[in-house]
Structure 1
Amino acid sequence: MTYEIAVRAEATLGEGPTWDPVGDRLLWIDILGARLHTYDPVSGRRTVRTLDQHIGAVKPRAAGGLVLNLRDGVALLDPDGTFRWLHHEPVPGRRANDAAVAPDGSLWAGTMRYDEAPGGGSLSRIGGDGSVDVVLDDVAVSNGTGWSPDGRLMYYVDSPTRRVDVFDHDGGRIGNRRAFAGIEDGAGFPDGLTVDADGCVWVALWDGGAVRRYTPAGELDRVITLPAPRVTACAFGGPDLTDLYITTARVGLAAPHPVAGSLLVVPGAGKGLAQPLFAG
C-alpha cells in the first residue's frame, strides 16, 4: 500500500485523526503544539485553531461542535466557537492523551503524566452530562481505544506494555482483560488504533515507522511501512470511509524525515466503521 501526503505539516506531535461526518472533514491535532486542525479532502480546505493548553483528542458531538480532551479536563466547543468546560480537573504534571467515543456516545478519555511515570495516567468514561467514571486507574501512557463492530469487545493500548489488550464490553463496563496482540522488541510501541468494518484492528507504531493490521483473532496480516518513524494514530475517513489517514510526529527526532509531522493517507486501504458522535 502506498501513502500520499494529505497535509504537509511539521506538527510536533501530530495525533488523533477522526472523520467528522457532519462537516465531511478530517479532524486531527498537534498535542504539544496545542493546535486543532481540520482538512476537507474534496476542496483541500484547511483550518488551524491554536488552543490555550495541550490537547489530547478531538471528537464531533451529536449536538454539533466538538468535544476536546485537554490537559485540564474535557471541554466542549460549540458550533459558534464558544468554549466551555464539561469536566474540569487539572492535575499538576498530567495531560490528556488519546480518546474515543463508545457505542453509547460516551467519551473514553485517557491521561498520562508528562514524565510517563507508571500508574500516573488513567482512562475515564465521560457521559454527555459530564459524569465521570474512572475505568482504569493504573496506566502509564493511555493510548488507542476502539470497539469491535458489534460493540462487545474493547481494544486498548497502554503503550509501554508493548501490547494491544482486549476487554469484554457491556453497557459501558469492561472486564476480562487479556492480551490481543504483542509488539516485538525493535518494532516500536503501539500507539493509536482503529477498528475496521471486518473487525480488524489497525495499530500505529511509535518508533516503528508503520501501521499494522491484525485480524479479529489477533494475527498480523498487513503492514504499511512509512518513512516517518514516529507514527502516532490512524483512522478511516472520506465519504465512503475507505481512506486510511495517519498522523506522525517530529518530537524527539534529531533529524526528522521530511514527512514527519504531516498528515498522511492511504487511499482505498479498507472499509472503516462509522464512529459514534459524543452524546454531549
Structure 2
Amino acid sequence: MLTARFSRPPSQLPRKTLNFSDRVNGARGSLLFHSASFVPVDRRTYAASVNPVGSKAVLVTGFDSGFGFSLAKHLHSEGFLVFAGYLMKVRDGSGLVNNAGISMFGDVEFTSMEPTYKEVAEVNLWGTVRGTKSFLPLIQRATGCAVSVSSRLGRMAHAAGPPYCITRFGVEAFSDCLRYEVHPLGGKVGVVEPGNFNATTSLYGAERIQAIANKMWDELPEGVRKDYGRKYFDERVAKMETYCNSGSTDTSPVIRAVTHTLTSATPYTRYHPMNHYCWVRMRITTHLPGAISDRIYIH
C-alpha cells in the first residue's frame, strides 16, 4: 500500500491554480494544486522472501560500474552464486539482472541516428532482449526470476532525453510481455525503476557532459544551429549538468529492490526507488490526463 504524509498542513502549502474551460458549453473552472512538499510513505513490506542458498545462481550484467558492482557484492553476501559481466553458461540459472545501460542527452534535432540512437538502443534495449532470450531457458527450468533495471524515464519522458527514454520504455514493454508469458509456467519478472542516481552511476561527469556537448554542437547542421542558437543550446547543457549533480548517492534502495525481486516468492511487478519529487511527478504523469501534467511541468 502506498500512502502520502504531508509535512505541513495543506493550508500552509504553496499553491498553483490550473484554469480550464469547456469548449462545448463555455463553462469555466479551476483546479487548485498544492506543491509536492509531502513525503511519500512506502508501506510495502518486503515479505514472502525465501532464503537463497549457494546453488542459486544469478547473472548480473553491467558489472563494471553503477549499480552492478554493488549489487553483485550484495547478492554474493546473501548466498547467491553470482556471475557478473558477460553472459556465460551456468548450471542452474535461478535469476538474471539486466543492469547494463548507457545514456546520452540532447534534443531530437541535436542527436544523430548513428551513433547516438543506435548505440544507446544496442545496450539498453537489444542487450536486455538478447540477454533475456539467452538465459530464459535456464530461468524457466529453475522457475527463477528475470529482473530489469529500467528507470523512471521508462514511465515518463522528458526533454533532452529521447535516445535514453525510448529504450527504457521499450524495456518496460518487453518486461510486461515476458511477465505475461512466463507466469503460467511459474516464472517471475520484475522491473526496478530508479530515480536520479547519476551521482553514483557515473554515467555523466562534468567533463564528459562538456565533451559530448562540444562534439554535438560541432556536428550540428548549420541550419539547426541558426534555428536554435548557441544560447539555447548552452542552457540545455547547463540543465543537464544541474540534473546530474543533484542525484542521490545512496544506492541501497535499488539494491534492496533487486534483491527482493530475486528472493521473493511473489515479487512486485515494479519497484520505485526514487526521491520524493520523482515519486510524485511519475504518478502525476502516469495517472492524470496529459493536458494536466503538461500544464504543471511544461507550460
Normalised by the shorter chain, which TM-score bucket?
A: under 0.3
Structure with bigger helix share is: 2
TM-score (ref. length: structure 2): 0.25
TM-score (ref. length: structure 1): 0.27
Structure exhibiting the larger radius of gyration computed from Cα positions: 2
